[in-house]
Structure 1
Amino acid sequence: MCGIYWFIAVWMCSAPPQLLVGLRVGLQMAQAANCSRWGSPSEKGLFEDGDVIIGGLFSLRYSPPDKNHDFIQLPENRPCTGLQNLPLQYIYAMVFALEEINHSSTLLPGLKLGYRIHDSCALPAWALQAALSLVGGGASTCKTTDGKEEHINEKEGGQPVPLIIGGSSSVAANILSRILEPMSVPLVSYTASCPCLSDKKQYPNFFRTMASDIYQAHAITKLAIRYKWTWIGAVIANNDYGQMAVKVFQEGIQGAGVCLAFIETLERENIVRDAKRAALTIKASTAKVILIFTWYTDVMELFQQLAKTNVTDRQFLASEAWSTSTDLLQNVVSHKVARGVLGLAIRSAAVPGFENYLRNLNPSLHPDDEFLREFWEKEFGCTPVEAARSSNNSLPQHRSLHKASLPPCKGTETLEEVQNLFTDTSQLRVTYNVYLAVYAAAHALHSLLSCPDRESPSGNNISTCSFPKQIKPFEGISQQFFLGSTRCDRCPSEFWSNSERTECIPRQLDFLSFNETLGIALSAVAISGATLTTAVFVVFLLYRHTPVVRANNSELSFLLLMSLKLCFLCSLVFIGRPSVWSCRFQQAAFGISFVLSVSCLQVKTIVVLAAFRSARPGAETLMKWFGPGQQRGSVCLFTCVQVWYFPLEVVTCINMIEITGAVLLSV
């Protein structure tokens, strides 16, 4: 596999002032968070106490649970599976760097750094839950929906973190940065490469040890132009990482004679289906060069689908996310498909002592390390002895049952001869980014806590860093943050959500009262109209046998006067405090009354027209087919249609109002 290495500018000897600012405020604001238990996606984690706790979020597992899309109940975060060796190496790179710093006499002397590390399963929702748990601390007070305070404790300690190393994808980094920014908690990412994250106005608390994808996309553009590849297909991750990269690539190839044949997207939640579709598109296309911007596990599934369709004659342009994947090189199926790969890679660097540190890891020395325990079971097929002894006391019941299916380890197992991605330190790429991120945070803390100059002679005096509690917050920050939930709950009836969408408040009812001037005027008009109509009705009734009334179609006239009277009286229902029965009755009653009056007018108009045409030949037939019976039937037909349709319209309107309200509350 060919590789074109691109290099990353990072902090080493000094930290950016923005990170110092974020740390200063983050140390204060993290302590002000009020809720700690956010439904963490996994009870497993890696924890170590210290004077300052550094948070860590890593995508350790890459097999997400199946989603339930029946929309019958709220979605449930079920555990992920498939522990990956390479992300596990990232975790211990962070631990290794922190242990190095704690043993240093020049960097943060007298101050111990601890850590709280969680698995985010490469899902932004779980990364958000874990991040909120980190900044909230392990033990705190939560406010329930009824306003009462509830104390929640966790076994992992209660100190909130002032900084988080994480955001393994650009999507997760985008979400986490926006959520953590009001609390001034810095986020240092080791792989998020979206150019959008470089905007300090939108992401003032985001930092990274990874180069922007803009440079990678420009490099791939130059490769395509250099080798005169004029017809290229693209398969990208359906997120900011893939979309931004292909956008920059398209802008770069304009006017250079290079065209994109197709763009296929992959989503991890539906990777099998998407990979099958992309493989069929690649097979059907005449493009022989395929650009792939996605994660290496997604590429593995794509290559397996290509092997099934016997597509083995394509040249692949690889992004840094999979160009150096050892799994793809060693896999027989993927190696057959990707015989030629040209791509870019993250800079590799050596970390002295790290390989020896990894090979000396053993669950017997770290009995509380859940990640190492699971890796040990996967690698050696046995349960560590120390873990088996403590399973009944410290582990959940489902975990103990799983252990019962594995034999106990002999105690002689070691990683000295194990060869896999976890122990392979020949090319530390993302691992080195994690290592640099930890040191960047340490240098920022060193400058922030008034630590002694590390270049000064150490024998002059013994000095240590200032204690973190001596840090004063910025002026203007005494705020109290109340975090409620990662999902929205619908407010009960008679309540609205406030403008901040943080609590339910009573609805404000606005209606036209009978006591108001406008209400009195409208009521007077309605009553006067109904009275006048009644008077006319009485006059017509008294003189119903006279030729004038009979010539005016007395039956339709009586019906028209009655409907007009009802229309006047229905308007009174729209005045006064609304209720359920009035809201449903007022529209139906007015609609039916109005249609009845219009129907009478229409039939009377037709009768008049027929009367004027009575002198013409054939007029007798017209009057025969539109006699008194047909007139009554027409009025009943038109009115019955409205009687049948209008209640359905009212119910539909009410349902649409409720649905719209629910959508607005969820937004």
Structure 2
Amino acid sequence: MQYIYAMMFAVDEINDSESLLPGVRLGYRILDSCALHPWAMEAALSLVGGDSTFCTFTPKNAISFVEEIQKMSSNIPMIIKFLLEHLHTVNFTTPQGERFYFQGGDIPAKYDLINWQKTPEGSLRLVLIGRVDGFDIVLNETAIQWTTGSSQVPVSVCTVSCEPGTRKALRKGEPVCCFDCIPCGDGEVSNKTDALQCDRCPLEFWSNPARTSCIPRQLDFLSFNETLGITLTTVAVSGVAVTTAVFVVFLYYRQTPMVRANNSELSFLLLVSLKLCFLCSLVFIGRPSVWTCRFQQAAFGISFVLSVSCLQVKTMVVLAAFRSARPGSESLMKWFGPNQQRGSVSFFFLLQVLICVIWLSLNPPLPQPDWEMTGVKVTLECAMESVLGFSLVLGYIGLLACTCLLLAFLARKLPDNFNEAKLITFSMLIFCAVWVAFVPAYVSSPGKYSVAVEIFAILASSYGLLFCIFAPKCFIILLRPEKNTKKHLMAR
């Protein structure tokens, strides 16, 4: 049946086309012998004798479809062949009554579709489909119109080949020629057609945009040339400039009651430590090296401990001063004289120095690329080999800050026109809030942005201490000089 349907489809396509055989109408007649010899003989005699109209012909051309009888089974083809050979003729009739006779042995039996055309001399010749039995066959391939609407031959596959950069994924329950082309993932490549899997690039390489080859990864870090680095550098340098200006103001007005009443020595030391805090943030910017990785953490830890210890000693002096005013407590201030204040600050400072020395000597941070990152760019960062050492540095700063906050909170309501404990309380609240928010932000920030988060925390807490402690004092010194008197400060 498939041959019959193929022949019927071919004839219908030719008849429906306006370009294949213009002016020619093809027809066909299908006879079935049902494997019976008498029926086969009757059909053959009917075709040869012309009792039945075999085909419809155009006025000047006789066209015939001849079955390929060699493919048939049983001995029926032999009967048909015997009749054709002995009758010697096969006739075709046109609508005008013209008859054409052929010797039976001349009928080609190699092809299903035979196109016989009448020549001007009155004979018939074979045209269409290679060179067969001495006949010229001409096929106009450009005139063929497929069901796809194009003259291009349709591809007889389920799925076209997968290009490099993709891999084959077979469809479940479908033939092996049916598959999907899945693009390779990030960091994976395939450099051949119909690859069954994508290969992973080495750590030092990454896949190109086409996912066809591995390219070297680029080291990335927070530099002074990019916008973020320029912004943070500008903010840090501005902090240094403002701190220097405040230092100059306090130095110029060091004999005034406002400066002397708030322990001028600790105030100057606090300003120096804040300047160091601003400067240490610059060490975090630029290409990490062995020495910068060590120095940045040590500078950060030591400078902030110096700042917080100054504030803590200031708060302790305020509490001791008011406690000593009570009867029987006159000797309390002996423990908080100038030497004791310097000794306390030095003790807190040297303890942090000891922690940093032990940490950086045993297991210091080293510059390493973060190969776990995705993408062509890899962050070169100071990898913390010892989380314990970094935690001790931060923990010690946090312990001093919390202690200072608690002492300042207790002394905030002591009677004084200018109680510095209030300013310390507010400054330490800002300081603690910044560093509490720093931890989750630092952990969740990718690549070089974690460094930017740490720099931001350093700058924000430094600015908080600078403005909360010294802005009200500078305001009175520069803009309200009438309040910068001993009488005003001792009014209560």
Q: Mark yes or no: TM-score above 0.5.
A: no
**Given the two structures, how large is their TM-score scaled by the length of structure 1?**
0.24
Larger Rg: 2
Which structure has more RCO (C-alpha within 8 Å, separation ≥ 6)?
Answer: 1
**Given the two structures, how large is their TM-score scaled by the length of structure 2?**
0.32
